[in-house]
């Protein structure tokens, strides 16, 4: 295998880690609340800007500001739920998805426009002292700032898995995700579950955004692209399934980079989209998903 | 214990329940019977706050329940087992039972209640690590009831407990329901299987087209010729 | 209002539009009006698929773009304009069948995100294959006359609305609406669900193509992939909802409101305009599913339009 291909593969895997991270959040909001938040990518964008300004204005290293970004955007997620998505969840699942699609699309427009206004359309990247550091394995360059994205993704996925399977609240989350009526009858405060799940989903998106502004770049218009990526990963992993999200994300990154080597970088995104459509038509539940009652 | 007066429930513009009144006294089993589409499940869902109540009052131990969020009703001891597969398929038996004791009141006596439930349903103890999706119909019903018991109910509401079960399993289930009543839990059940329900119920109401057309003790209704003709195929 | 009155009002508006096209000289006004007509035609086409048949497509810009691209390339390449338009409609209708057959198997959200993915893929591909800007040649530009584009756009809009009117009264349209309300029930009553969805898809695509042709005729210069941009889809959806989804004139009302509103806004800042319309859209979806049509209908004494979002806080569907 040539040097170029190997490097491309590794880059794809690293990017795939971030795909997985952003998808975790979407899987949470979609899996638990059954809403499709098209503005998920905009939340990533906002998180990226938050990390960026924390770095340039206060000198906070992005890893140091990570908890800050998480908490602030968790709060923003709470706000969005209370002001907006709460009303969408009042309806049954079928209309819920349609309404949330529309409402969040309006939200995405608004957030993106505000970002252009206040942050300008310039691309931003966090440049730390170690931004150009890289591990070199068999003459393949692994930039540290991009490896970080994959590491954070894996840690987040493990943490989420642990919460879902070991804690009481996690089980309540799974129960609500399966059937909110039955969850309510079990004594679970469904609105509180929704609130927390949504806020965490926003915080996860923002965390991904932090990694994106460190290892790649952020600008106001990146939202839709990231939402689509997250959507593709969630479908690949199986709608409604939390397991295998990071794996699916890495797989997507891999496919994209292979495509860019063989077909050309211009068609990188197109390949991902076409793959998505193929998986969607054969297995709407993805590779890992199980049919739910 | 539970007093419902003039309950009206509608689906949008469609009125389904037309001002019914019924009670569930302490330590008794009350059944609401009637054909499909009569409004039985609608009544239960409205009681639990899952459907909006158009008019009427619902009092439990004197406290007004209308407008209370569902999970708070569970905390007060009103636990409903919905029709069919009330347990969570994506969780194991043990996880389901653990979730059953979600409310603070139930959590304090979790270990004790769990032991009791495993005593009433030894088969659940055997299968505790299994996913709920792998259980048979009868076992799932047992799990549903066990899970409800974990919440330490004062009033247990059952929606069609016999649905989809083999006759011998139905006998077992109704036996369990009697035991539950004997332990001091009131039971309100909606049933299509009129014969079995009348045998086990202390009092029953017949609901047709959203209105109560007959009521009486189990024996009284069994003896009623109208009921016999319409429901008991005698 | 009763059918006859509505038709009369429509004819009056049409007459006014024709008169305006012949007399008004103000370029800005003409530009705005043409923009309204193009958007309204696109929105009307989306409404056929999304409003009548209930299939929310987020990739509609693909047909608009295809219409614009084929028309433009053929026309500037020497073909007569009507030929170019006909070719565009033919090709796109075919493409709609080819794409529709696999796509329409998806339901609800899968269809929405599937069409979104497809729309974005087409946009990127178009940008790769036609990167150069498409400008009207110098001679055409010198004698640029709004009359042609104006009346063509008007014709396209009228055609779009007539198609909607015809559909609304036809058995085909009724079948589509049945599918929208409840697919399972429709199937049970013998309605060929797939055929109706495909019909809506293809008709909607054809109308969108015409809107694209109108854009090709009107635009002085643009990058070919601009017509494929997801912005067109968003704007179409936006104005359909603001105007009233599923209604006949909703898309037109919404377009007028949107384009005029955008032009008349006190703020010059593009972004705040977007914020305004975005928030308005959210409010409409949540609180006024009937949009402007509903509001206008109430003013004129008609009973409320069909609502789109069922907002009942119910737990279960009708059961005993």
Task: Give yes or no: residues B95 and B53 share one domain.
Answer: no
Contacts of A226 in chain C (CB under 8 A): none
> Which residues of A fall within a CB distance of 8 Å from C278?
106-110, 113
Note whether residue B171 is domain-resident: no
Tell me: do B132 and B230 sit in the same domain.
no
Side-chain-side CA neighbours of C49 within 13 Å: the count stands at 32
Q: Is residue B181 part of a domain?
A: no
| Nearest residue of A to residue B146, measured between CA atoms | A186
What's the number of domains chain A is made of? Answer: 1
Please answer whether residues C230 and C123 qualify as being in contact, where contact means their C-beta atoms are separated by less than 8 angstroms.
yes
Which residue range(s) make up the domain with B37? Answer: 1-77+154-165+192-234
Which residues, including other chains, have CB under 8 Å from residue B66's CB and lie 6 or more apart?
B53, B56, B57, B58
Which chains does A contact via 3+ CB–CB distances below 8 A? B, C
CA atoms within 13 A on the CB side of B194: 21
Inside any domain, residue B175: no
Q: Please give the helix or strand (H or E) that residue B21 lies within, else none.
A: strand B14-24
Best interface-test mutation with C: which of B20, B42, B44, B208 has the largest number of C CBs within 10 A? B42
For C198, the token pair is 């495909």
Q: Would residue B179 count as lying in a domain?
A: no
Instruction: Say yes or no: B92 and B130 in one domain.
Output: yes
Strand partners, C222: C134
Domain boundary among B99, B126, B152: B152
State the residue range of the domain holding A276: 3-282
End residue of a domain, out of B98, B122, B152: B152
Q: For residue A82, what is the DSSP state? A: I
Contact (CB<8Å) B36/C320: yes
In a domain, A288, yes or no: no
Q: How far is CA B189 from the centre of its chain?
A: 4
Calculate the alpha carbon distances from A64 to A67, A194, A219, B180, C133 in Å.
Answer: 7, 29, 22, 56, 46
* Residues near B124 by beta carbon (within 8 Å), at least 6 away in sequence: B93, B97, B117, B118, B139, B142, B143, B146
- CA nearest neighbour of C317 among B11, A211, A119, B112: B11
Residues B72 and B158 in one domain: yes
- For residue A35, being part of any structural domain is answered with yes
Top-confidence range, A171-185, A194-208, C90-104, C278-292: A194-208
Asked if residue A293 belongs to a domain, the reply is no
For chain B (length 234 residues), average pLDDT per consecutive 10?
88 84 91 85 90 89 88 92 84 92 90 91 89 86 92 93 83 88 91 84 88 84 76 62
Q: Which two tokens stand for residue A238?
A: 């199986």
Cβ contact C316–B45 (<8 Å): yes
User: What residues contact residue A250 under an 8 Å CB cut-off, 6+ apart?
Assistant: A13, A16, A17, A19, A20, A150
**Interface size between A and B, measured as CB pairs under 8 A:** 67
One domain for residues B105 and B36 = no
Same domain, B72 and B160: yes
Q: Read off the CATH number of the domain in which B197 is found.
A: 3.40.50.300
pLDDT tens-place string over residues C190-205: 888 899 999 999 999 9
- pLDDT tens, residue by residue, C208-252: 999 999 999 888 888 888 999 888 998 898 889 888 888 888 899
**Residue B47 is assigned to a structural domain of this protein:** yes
Count other Cβ atoms within 10 Å, centred on residue B149: 26
User: How crowded is residue C83: how many other Cβ atoms within 10 Å of its Cβ?
Assistant: 13
Buried b (16+ CB within 10 A) or exposed e, A215-243: bbebbbebbbebbbbbbbbbbbbbbbbbb
**pLDDT tens across the length of chain A (293 residues):** 678 888 888 989 999 999 999 999 999 998 899 888 999 999 999 999 999 999 999 989 989 999 999 999 999 999 999 999 988 888 776 678 778 888 898 899 899 989 988 888 888 888 888 888 888 888 888 888 889 889 999 999 999 999 998 899 999 999 998 889 899 999 999 999 999 999 999 999 999 999 999 989 999 989 988 998 998 898 888 766 677 899 999 999 998 888 888 887 778 888 888 888 888 777 655 544 444 43
For chain B, the domain total comes to 2
What size, in residues, is chain C?
320
User: Does B117 fall in a domain?
Assistant: yes
B161 shares a domain with B45:
yes
In sequence order, what are the beta bridge partners of B23? B3
Q: Which two tokens stand for residue C97?
A: 């069948």
Could you tell me the two tokens for B38? 């009569």
Within a domain: residue A290?
no
CATH of the domain at A84: 1.10.3470
Question: Torsions phi, psi of A124, nearest 5?
Answer: -120, 140
On whether residue A83 sits in a domain, the answer given is yes
Q: What is the rounded radius of gyration, in angstroms, for the C-alpha atoms of chain C?
A: 20
Residue A291 lies in a domain: no
Query: Which of B100, B128, B152 is the endpoint of a domain?
Result: B152
Does residue B84 share a domain with residue B148?
yes
Best interface-test mutation with A: which of B102, B132, B155, B156 has the largest number of A CBs within 10 A?
Answer: B102
Give the whole-angstrom CA distance, residue C16 versus residue C315.
Answer: 51
- C-alpha span between A270 and C122 (Å, rounded): 8
On whether residue A292 sits in a domain, the answer given is no
In angstroms, the CA C150 to CA C153 distance is 5
Among chain B residues, CA nearest to A188: B71
Q: How far is residue C63's CA from residue C67's CA, in Å, rounded to a whole number? A: 6
């Amino acid at each position: 295998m040539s040097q170029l291909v190997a490097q491309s593969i590794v880059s794809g895997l690293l990017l795939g880690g971030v795909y997985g991270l952003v998808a975790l959040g979407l899987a949470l909001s979609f899996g638990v609340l059954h809403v499709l938040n098209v503005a998920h990518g905009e939340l990533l964008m906002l998180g990226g800007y938050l990390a960026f300004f924390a770095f340039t204005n206060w000198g906070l290293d992005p890893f140091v500001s990570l908890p800050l970004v998480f908490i602030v955007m968790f709060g923003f997620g709470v706000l969005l739920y209370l002001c907006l998505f709460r009303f969408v969840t009042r309806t049954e699942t079928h209309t819920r998805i349609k309404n949330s699609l529309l409402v969040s699309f309006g939200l995405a427009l608004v957030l993106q426009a505000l970002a252009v206004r206040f942050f300008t359309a310039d691309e931003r990247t966090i440049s730390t002292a170690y931004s150009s550091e890289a591990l070199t394995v068999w003459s393949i360059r692994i930039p540290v700032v991009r490896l970080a994205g994959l590491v954070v993704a894996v840690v987040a996925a493990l943490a989420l898995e642990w919460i879902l399977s070991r804690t009481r609240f996690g089980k309540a989350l799974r129960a609500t995700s399966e059937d909110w009526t039955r969850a309510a009858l079990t004594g679970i405060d469904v609105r509180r579950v929704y609130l927390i799940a949504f806020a965490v989903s926003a915080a996860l998106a923002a965390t991904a955004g932090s990694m994106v502004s460190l290892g790649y770049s952020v600008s106001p218009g990146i939202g839709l692209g990231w939402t689509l990526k997250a959507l593709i990963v969630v479908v690949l992993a199986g709608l409604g399934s939390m397991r295998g999200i990071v794996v699916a994300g890495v797989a997507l990154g891999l496919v994209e980079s292979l495509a860019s080597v063989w077909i050309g970088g211009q068609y990188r995104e197109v390949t991902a989209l076409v793959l998505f459509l193929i998986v969607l038509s054969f297995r709407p539940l993805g590779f890992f998903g199980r049919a739910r009652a | 214990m539970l007093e419902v007066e003039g309950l009206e429930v509608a689906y949008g513009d469609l009125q389904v329940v037309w001002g019914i009144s019924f009670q569930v006294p302490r330590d008794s089993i009350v059944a609401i019977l009637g054909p499909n589409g009569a409004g039985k499940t609608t009544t239960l869902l409205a009681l639990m706050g899952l459907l909006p109540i158009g008019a009427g009052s619902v009092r439990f131990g004197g406290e007004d329940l209308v407008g209370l969020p569902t999970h708070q009703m569970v905390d007060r001891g009103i636990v409903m087992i919905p029709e069919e597969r009330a347990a969570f398929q994506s969780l194991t038996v043990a996880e389901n039972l653990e979730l059953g004791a979600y409310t603070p009141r139930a959590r304090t006596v979790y270990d004790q209640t769990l032991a009791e439930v495993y005593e009433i349903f030894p088969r659940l103890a055997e299968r505790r690590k299994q996913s709920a999706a792998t259980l048979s119909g009868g076992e799932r019903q047992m799990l549903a009831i066990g899970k409800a018991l974990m919440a330490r109910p004062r009033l247990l509401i059952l929606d069609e407990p016999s649905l989809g079960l083999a006759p011998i399993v139905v006998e077992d289930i109704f036996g369990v329901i009697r035991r539950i009543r004997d332990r001091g839990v009131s039971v309100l059940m909606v049933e299509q299987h009129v014969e079995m329900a009348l045998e086990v119920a202390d009092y029953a109401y017949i609901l047709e087209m959203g209105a109560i057309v007959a009521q009486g003790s189990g024996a009284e209704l069994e003896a009623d010729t109208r009921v016999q003709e319409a429901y008991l195929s005698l | 209002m009763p059918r006859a009155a509505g038709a009369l009002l429509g004819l009056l508006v049409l007459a006014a539009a024709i008169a305006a096209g012949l007399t008004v000289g103000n370029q800005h006004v003409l530009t705005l009006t043409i923009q309204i007509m193009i958007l309204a035609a696109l929105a009307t086409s989306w409404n056929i698929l999304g409003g009548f048949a209930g299939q929310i497509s987020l990739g509609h810009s693909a047909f608009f773009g295809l219409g614009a691209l084929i028309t433009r390339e053929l026309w500037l390449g020497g073909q007569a304009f009507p030929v170019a338009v006909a070719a565009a409609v033919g090709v796109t209708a075919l493409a709609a069948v080819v794409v529709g057959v696999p796509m329409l198997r998806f339901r609800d959200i899968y269809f929405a995100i599937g069409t979104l993915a497809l729309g974005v893929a087409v946009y990127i591909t178009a940008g790769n294959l036609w990167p150069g800007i498409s400008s009207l040649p110098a001679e055409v530009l010198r004698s640029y006359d709004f009359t042609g584009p104006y009346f063509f756009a008007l014709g396209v809009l009228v055609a779009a609305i007539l198609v909607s009117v015809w559909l609304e009264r036809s058995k085909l349209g009724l079948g589509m609406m049945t599918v929208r309300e409840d697919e399972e029930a429709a199937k049970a009553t013998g309605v060929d669900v797939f055929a109706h969805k495909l019909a809506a898809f293809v008709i909607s695509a054809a109308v969108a193509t015409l809107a694209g042709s109108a854009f090709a005729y009107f635009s002085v210069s643009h990058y070919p992939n601009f017509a494929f941009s997801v912005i067109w889809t968003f704007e179409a959806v936006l104005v359909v909802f603001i105007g009233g989804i599923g209604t006949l004139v909703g898309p037109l009302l919404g377009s007028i409101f949107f384009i005029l509103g955008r032009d008349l806004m006190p703020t010059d800042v593009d972004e705040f305009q977007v914020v305004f319309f975005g928030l308005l859209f959210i409010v409409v979806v949540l609180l006024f599913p009937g949009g402007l049509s509903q509001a206008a209908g109430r003013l004129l004494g008609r009973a409320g339009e069909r609502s789109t979002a069922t907002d009942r806080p119910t737990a279960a569907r009708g059961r005993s």
